[in-house]
Structure 1
Amino acid sequence: MMIVRERQNKYIMIEQDHHARISGQLAANLKDSFFLEERLKQPVLFAIENHDFAWKMIDKQPFWNDRKQKPYMFTDFPNPAKTVFYKHGIDEVEQHNLYAALLCSEHYTRFLLNDPGEESQLFVQHERERQKQIINRLEAYDKNIFDVHYGWLQFFDSLSLYLCLNEPGVSKEDEHPFFKNGIPISQPLTFFHTKKVSIYWKDSQTVEMNVFPFNSPIDITIQQKSVPQKAIAENGLIKAYEQAELDTVSVRLT
Structure 2
Amino acid sequence: MICREQDGALIMMKQHDHGLLAGNFAKWFKEEHTPAEGRRAEVLWAVSHHDRGWIDLDETPFWNDAEGQPYSFIDFPVVPKLTFYRRGIDEIEAKTPYGALLCSSHFERLIEVSGEECPELTQYLEDEAERRARIHRRLEQEKPLEEGELYYDARLLQFCDDLSLFLALNEPGSKESKKHPWFVDGFSGSEEFSFTSGRAIHAKWRDNRTLTLAPFPFTQDIEVSFKQRRVSLKAVQDKGIARAYHEAPEEECKIRVISGPEEDSRAKNG
Q: Would the TM-score normalized by the shorter structure come out above 0.5?
A: yes
Distance 2:135 2:195 in 1: 28
Contact preservation (8 Å) 2:191, 2:201: no
Aligned AA for 1:228?
Answer: S
- Determine helix, strand or coil for the equivalent of 2:198: coil
Q: Which runs of 4+ in 1 moved over 6 A?
A: none
CA deviations 1:155-193 (Å, max 9, x no partner) are: 100111111110000111111111011112257533322
Alignment of 1:233-244 (within 5 A): 233-244=237-248
1:35 deviates by 2.0
Counterpart in the other structure of 1:76: 75
**Helix, strand or coil: the match of 2:148?**
helix
- Structure 2: state its 5+ residue gaps: 259-270
Letter in 1 for 2:165: L
Give distance in 2, aligned partners of 1:182 and 1:230. 35
Question: Per-residue displacement from partner, 1:46-66 (whole Å, max 9, x unpaired)?
Answer: 111011111112111011101
1:121 equivalenced with 2:125 (yes/no): no
Q: 1:229 to 1:129 in 2, by over 3 A?
A: same
**Pairing partner for 2:164 from 156, 160, 166:** 160
SS at match of 1:106: helix
Structure 2 length normalisation: TM-score? 0.90
Aligned length: 253
Contact 1:185 1:194 in 2 (8 A): no
Provide the secondary structure at the position in 2 that maps to 1:216.
coil
Change beyond 3 A, Cα 1:23–1:161? same
Q: Please report how far the alpha carbon of residue 43 of structure 1 lies from its aligned counterpart in structure 2 after TM superposition.
A: 1.0
Match of 1:249 in 2: 253
Q: Residue 89 of structure 1 aligns to a residue in which SS?
A: helix
Distance between the aligned counterparts of 1:191 and 1:160, measured in 2?
20
8 A Cα contact 1:147 1:188, kept in partner: no
**Aligned-residue offset at 1:106:** 0.6
Q: Residues of 2 paired with 1:98 and 1:143: CA distance?
A: 18
CA distance in 2, matches of 1:82, 1:183: 25
Match for residue 202 of structure 2 among 195, 198, 201: 198
Matches within 5 A, 1:1-254: 2-113=1-112, 114-138=115-139, 139-142=143-146, 144-185=148-189, 189-254=193-258
Residue identity matched to 1:223? K
For the 8 Å contact 2:31–2:219, the answer to whether it is kept is: no
Is the 8 Å Cα contact of residues 11 and 231 (structure 2) preserved in structure 1?
Answer: yes
Render the CA deviation track for 1:182-218: whole Å, top value 9, x for unaligned. Answer: 1122575333222411211111000001111222111
After superposition, give the CA deviation of every residue in 1:86-110 in whole Å (9 maximum; x if it has no partner): 0011001011000001011111112
Structure 1 unmatched ranges of 5 or more: none
